[in-house]
Chains A and B, each alone.
Chain A
Amino acid sequence: MMIESQEVASQRMSPTRPMYWSIRREIWENRSIYAAPVVTACIMLFGFFISLFTLPHRINAAMAGGAGKLHGVIEMPYDMTAGLILVTSFLVGVFYCLDALYGERRDRSILFWKSLPVSDRTTVFAKAAIPLVVLPLLSYALILVTQLLILILSTIALLGSRAHLAALYDKLKFFQLSAALLYAIVVIALWHAPVYCWLLLVSGWAKRATFLWAVMPFLAIGLFVRIAFGTSAFFTFLGNRLTGWFHKAFLVPVKGAPHLDPLASLTPGNLLTAPELWFGLIFAAMCVAATVCLRRYREPI
């Protein structure tokens, strides 16, 4: 009996368990993590449903205009779905991070969390995993489901015309799009990691106005550089941190050039040799390490 119960106890103490439950409780406590992307997807679907009535007409018009135009009409809803859900998930991630360590100090629940055998490192890692792992995976699943629904809806709407259906299935490379999307989502998570981790650090440190503390230093530096040296280099650097991943990870489409296969436009080599990526990841790791230390010392506010 003794040995059995000890074995049970040691099984229950496996190091991944506190991590798993810490992530689950973050999702319980922050329902916007899944609610906001789901709402975006629903709005997208509803909008597309309405646009279905004019879809055959638009395909006809595009077929007359050439292959490039047809591609645009057919792929547009899929790209928009992906784009909008990813933007939503970015915003959710930003506001989640800003509150992740600030909120528990403000409502004193940090005293409850710290009364349990979960280390500060596990807690901070779990919080960092929300924008870096959970949100990207969730967005990916949600985008896939929404795109599939869009595909089913458009198939039904186009059933009347063999030519329209052929155009849809000829131009739409669904599986290749999905694979390219997964690549993009990983790239975005890596590229934005320093942003999220910086926000976590501010959230663990600031006693009030987390958003201001997170943003003002960068605005101040940017304005200073602009005034003192007459260059917007710092603002360019900040913009690159938000959207620069696209130019590194994908071939930028050239106007008028023939449409590329989704998988043919990936440039992982270009991305992996970009110093911005690696400096960003080092900065992110430093922020997380500092946040773990902060959580040990910080008391309720």
Chain B
Amino acid sequence: MVCIEARGLRKTFGGTTALDGVDLHVEEGRILGIIGPNGAGKSTALHAILGLTPYEGELSVLGRDPWSERDQLMRDVSFIADVAVMPRGMRVSQALEYMDGVHPRFDREKAEGFLAKTDIRHTSKVRELSKGMVTQLHLALVMAIDARLLVLDEPTLGLDILYRKQFYDSLLNDYFDGSRTIIVTTHQIDEIQDVLTDVMFINQGRVVMECGMGDFESRYVEVMVRPENLAAARSFKPMHERQVFGRSILLFDRANRDELSAIGDIRTPGIADLFVAVMGNQGAVQ
């Protein structure tokens, strides 16, 4: 089943183009990471998918038009924007009651089960909780919704490493079951590398790279090259080159691993390294 299908998605704010003809095809059961620099159009793309903003082009989410059918769509879609959007004056117990009241797929017992594993008290107001606890609360509410698509826009922004790790751990262990779809944007790229099934780079409103994580591992290879082999390594046309502790690290796309392992130590690059390489090349083109 196709979860999201977009063709030529465009969005302009006044003179600036936030989305410049984005094509997107996400099957159900995938965990897609959308990576891009600030202002690349990630949030705009997510907002279009969630029906929060009008757009040009074709877009269908779970078979619906998000802009015209937002309130219907939101029965099957959950969304965590960032840690700051929970209404601050509400009590935890009221949030549970409210969700139970308006959401047909919300399971209150499940949410209370998740909350029981945290230090959050039902009588607390959201404004009295720490940033990490607000995220735990929001995640507990969202994981108790039997949704088909979960959209996470910088969900762990400003949290410490313990909360960030816990966030993705509970998401994978208690929520993701292989049939739901998750889309996540974040700047802490390396932390979610093992979580993703697909990754997409987006820059200046365009998709600049997309591939499945299986592909990613077979396609990209990083070689730490000894200085005497540098010229030979460069002849294989690396897509990016950087220096670490006096040694050169070259990144290759679809290169012959056997040949490369002769000239240095090879390994699979981190998404962050590939991101820097792809964005660096983008900059050079302009």
Which A residues form the contact surface with B (CB < 8 A)? 9, 12-13, 17-18, 20-22, 24-25, 28-29, 104, 107-120, 122, 297, 299
Contacts and interface: CB of A to CB of B under 8 A. Distances in A.
Interface in B199-229: none
Interface residues of B, number: 32
A25 B71 contact: no
B101 A17 contact: yes
B81 interface: yes
Nearest to A28: B94
B79 A111 contact: yes
Nearest to B51: A114
A109 B88 contact: yes
B89 A28 contact: yes
Contacts of B171: none
A116 B85 contact: no
Contact of B78 (A108, A115, A122): A115
Given A115-B74, A297-B54, A28 B90 contact: yes
B102 A108 contact: no
Contacts of A29: 87, 89-90
A166 B195 CA distance: 83
A107 B82 CA distance: 12
A115 B99 CA distance: 11
B118 interface: no
Given A109-B85, A112-B85, A119-B71, A25 B90 contact: yes
Contacts of B53: 299
Contact of A111 (B81, B91, B99, B104): B81
B90 A115 contact: no
A49 B84 CA distance: 48
Contacts of A114: 50, 52, 70, 74, 79
A9 B104 contact: yes
A69 B222 CA distance: 98
A108 B47 CA distance: 14
Contact of A117 (B85, B88, B103): B103
Contact of A21 (B50, B85, B89, B98): B98
Contacts of B80: 115
Contacts of A109: 85-88
A116 B81 contact: no
B152 to A, nearest CB: 11
B75 A117 contact: yes
Nearest to A18: B102
